[in-house]
Amino acid sequence: MKFEQENLSEKMALNKLPADSPLPEANWVLVFGSVERFKNSKLPKILQKRYPHAQIMGCTTSGEISDDGVQDGSLQITAMQWERSTLKFVAKPVANMEQSHALGVDIANDLNQNDLKGVFVLSDGLNVNGSELVEGIQETLPNIPITGGLAGDGASFSQTLLLHNTKVHDKIIIAVGIYGNDAIVTSGALGGWKPYGPPRKVTRSVKNVIYELDNKPALPLYKMYIGHYANGLPASGLNFPFAIMNEDKSISVIRTVAAVDDSKNCLTFFGNIKEGSTIRFLKSDHDMLVNGASDAARQILDKDININNKAVAICVSCVGRKLVMEEHVSDEVFAVQRLLGMQTGITGFYSNGEICSGEDDSHSQLHNQTMTIAYLSENMN
């Protein structure tokens, strides 16, 4: 694999890109940027001219990740030339959230081939149930690592955009399948959050909506827990996620509030929470989150791969982590970079949901409030 990266800071216009592309033979180009960047009608045409042989995919963010750390309002371009592997891209329009599982199945069926090594997905961040999307893909492609994320738009929860070749869309899912014996697709995922307070039982829920906790209306209980931050919901909910607990009291997965409904006293999350689940409130700080990012990278190092090969690490982290770490948010990116090495290109974004497996590449799921890393490379021996 060859790759080259370009970075336009917030104040740099598109015409500040060099006249010549650094990797004109690229066959896959990843683009992450702000909503304002993606609303620039010149963006698709300029990228296609620079990378005429590439499939181009990207999404809006709540912050862009690169080797330089975390920026807002920037444009991050990662051009890859896969030399020993093949790629297949699919895109599906989204009509409503109820389609999410079926769209996952459709994507999986389109990508299903014997030599499939992994799938990378970018999805609309507001109109898709990420849990059901991933479940639909994984059911059809068991034991295949699925990575990616849900697009962001700062913390405004208004509109997310995705770029697919010549067009920018607001309701779409884009996926790429990576094929061949030399393809390397693996991942790492860890949060760095600590449960506190008593366990709560989800006594009434439907998919990603919780109506009751411990037989009491969920929203008033949550508002009591977060105090004056309740005035800023749903955005303030990014600071106060839930953990779904395993029977051994460890964290299974983290969920973040996406919306609230005062008339029904319910909470909507970016992923499903089954009725009967045990949840706990979470807290964290800068050091815990940075250590979580380090441990996500360490999961990759613990796998049987040649870390000296050129690779791209796509870091998808949660906007809620960004809010906790504030001006020190780049520390979690640098922690990943230190472990994976300078031969690994870092790109990615802050998202409305992270798709990853982690330690076990055979079971992917939607995460919230988690640093996830899709590690992509080729065996060049």
Per-residue pLDDT, 319: 86
Residues 11-60 pLDDT 10s = 999 999 988 899 999 999 999 999 999 999 999 999 999 999 999 999 99
State yes or no: cis peptide before 234, omega within 30 of 0. yes
CB-CB contact of 66 with 346 (8 Å)? yes
- The widest CA-to-CA distance across the chain, in whole angstroms, is 63
For the stretch 210-230, pLDDT in tens is: 999 999 999 999 999 899 999
Cβ neighbours of residue 58 under 8 Å, at least 6 residues apart? 29, 30, 31, 32, 33, 38, 122, 162, 163
- What share of the chain in percent tops pLDDT 70? 100
pLDDT tens, position by position, 117-173: 999 999 999 999 999 999 999 999 999 999 999 999 987 888 999 999 999 999 999
Burial of 184 (0-12, 13-18, 19+ CB in 10 A): buried
What single letter denotes the amino acid at residue 311?
Answer: A
**Cα–Cα distance measured from residue 325 to residue 306, given in angstroms and rounded to the nearest whole number:** 32
Produce one character per residue of 25-61: b if its CB has 16 or more CB atoms within 10 Å, e if not. Answer: ebbbbbbbbbbebbeeeebbeebeebbeebbbbbbbb
Q: Write down the pTM of the prediction.
A: 0.91
- Asked if 353 and 368 touch (Cβ cutoff 8 Å), the reply is yes
Predicted pLDDT of residue 251: 87
Q: What local confidence, expressed as pLDDT, does residue 358 receive? A: 67
Tokens matching residue 225: 């827990």
pLDDT value at residue 1: 94
Contact status, residue 282 vs residue 177, Cβ threshold 8 Å: no
